[in-house]
Amino acid sequence: MIGVILANTGSPSSPDPDDIEKYLSEFLMDERIRQLPKPVWKWLVTRKILPKRKYSSAQRYRFIWQPDGSPLLSQSRALAKKVQDLFDADCASDGAHANDATVVVRSAMSYGSPSIAEVLADFRNAGVDRVVLLPLYPQSAYSPTMAVVDSFWRAQNQIGWHPDSTVIDNYHDDEGYIAAIVRSIRNVGFDAPAGDRLLLSLHAIPLKDEAAGDTYREQIAESVKLIADGLGIDPDTITVAYQSVFGNDPSKWTAPLTRDVLAGWRDGDFRVVFACPGFSVDCLETLYDVPHEMVPALEGEAAKPVVDHVGVDIQAACNTSGRFVWVPSLNASDEHAELIKAVVEARL
């Protein structure tokens, strides 16, 4: 039996400040995230960062929270369920050979619940003898991709079980992934001949990681070329920028910053089609940051949401002039489930 883990960063269990503090303390103390020597960083996190950030983050999480909880968690569960259904359908069509190729698919998180250790323990109890780990980051980076991989190996040591394991650390050039991104951009009406500008916003990484050999931006460049080919446009007409910088010194992170690019386009008379192809599932960094930071950067502070809670309808949340066109992440769409299944199958 094969167990497949679709892994992501994680989410607090609720928007309550105490739950957020618990989540952030685990996240910020990860060796892949830590930016200073451990004793100094621990003091800074516990004494300076968490006492303030747990309250500011609570406000952000309340804005995106849904009746079924965190959008990242609920969409990840739904995606895993759809991938599971696709594998089950294959098994059913195989008849007598189905039991020999049973696949169990679960979502798990590096931080918070469901943890990778919890899922591995369930796999062991279910009789799984091979595990495939797929971090849901199409372009791999030292953080967060390798943070997921680190969690995977630590979890095996934690529960004392070391099955035959396969790690798929990226799928940036996968045909199905590229096709899904191209289709999602077309679905919002992207029209290059009419003057639309396509902005792809990726998660920033520290430049020190790149200096150490991280090929993240090389993978992004290849993804962009393939997306351009799919759209039938020149790759040079696509703008790539970066968001979610941590700390007070953006010069230590990949550039240009998405906010700066959008601010520079404020006086233009063209539409901006805005996609985040590095985020497989919408989360705080899309559902909150897009309406509160990205749209106002382009259209001014008056474009910020006028209600406290709007769910996931970003366009409806903003007083936009129609210049900003949001491309949602693939989330738990059928197409996303199919491409994830294909990525996993290619390694089985």
Residue pLDDT, tens place only, 105-128: 999 999 989 999 999 999 999 999
Q: What is the DSSP letter of 294?
A: I
Residue 111 has which token pair? 């931080």
Q: How far apart are CA 293 and CA 334, in angstroms?
A: 30
pLDDT band, residue 310 (cuts 50/70/90): low
Average pLDDT over residues 262-282: 96
* Cα-trace Rg, the chain: 20
pLDDT at 96: 43
- Do the beta carbons of residue 252 and residue 206 sit within 8 Å? yes
Task: State the CATH number of the domain containing residue 230.
Answer: 3.40.50.1400
Confirm whether 259 is domain-assigned: yes
Q: How far apart are CA 28 and CA 252, in angstroms?
A: 18
Total domains present in the chain: 1
22-31, 173-182, 269-278, 295-304: which range is least confident on average?
22-31
- Do the beta carbons of residue 135 and residue 120 sit within 8 Å? no
pLDDT band, residue 311 (cuts 50/70/90): low
Question: Is the pLDDT score of 99 beyond 50?
Answer: no
Query: Which residue type sits at 15?
Result: P
Count other C-beta atoms under 10 Å from residue 11's C-beta.
Answer: 27
Confirm whether 20 is domain-assigned: no
- Whole-angstrom CA distances from 286 to 60, 161, 205, 217, 290 are 11, 36, 17, 20, 5
Q: Which of 156, 154, 155, 134 is nearest to 145 (CA)?
A: 134
Confirm whether 199 is domain-assigned: yes
Residue 238 has which token pair? 């696509």
Residue 83 has which token pair? 């991938």
Confirm whether 205 is domain-assigned: yes
Average pLDDT over residues 8-26: 92
Confirm whether 318 is domain-assigned: yes
Confirm whether 68 is domain-assigned: no
Which is it for strands 164-167 and 130-135: parallel, antiparallel or unpaired? parallel
Q: At 334, phi and psi to the nearest 5?
A: -60, -40
Confirm whether 233 is domain-assigned: yes
Confirm whether 60 is domain-assigned: no
Give the range of the structural domain holding residue 284, as residue numbers without chain letter: 175-327
Question: pLDDT by residue (tens digit) across 32-82?
Answer: 777 778 888 788 878 888 888 899 999 999 999 988 899 999 999 999 999
Q: How far apart are CA 135 and CA 82, in angstroms?
A: 17
Which is it for strands 197-203 and 130-135: parallel, antiparallel or unpaired? unpaired
Average pLDDT over residues 330-341: 97
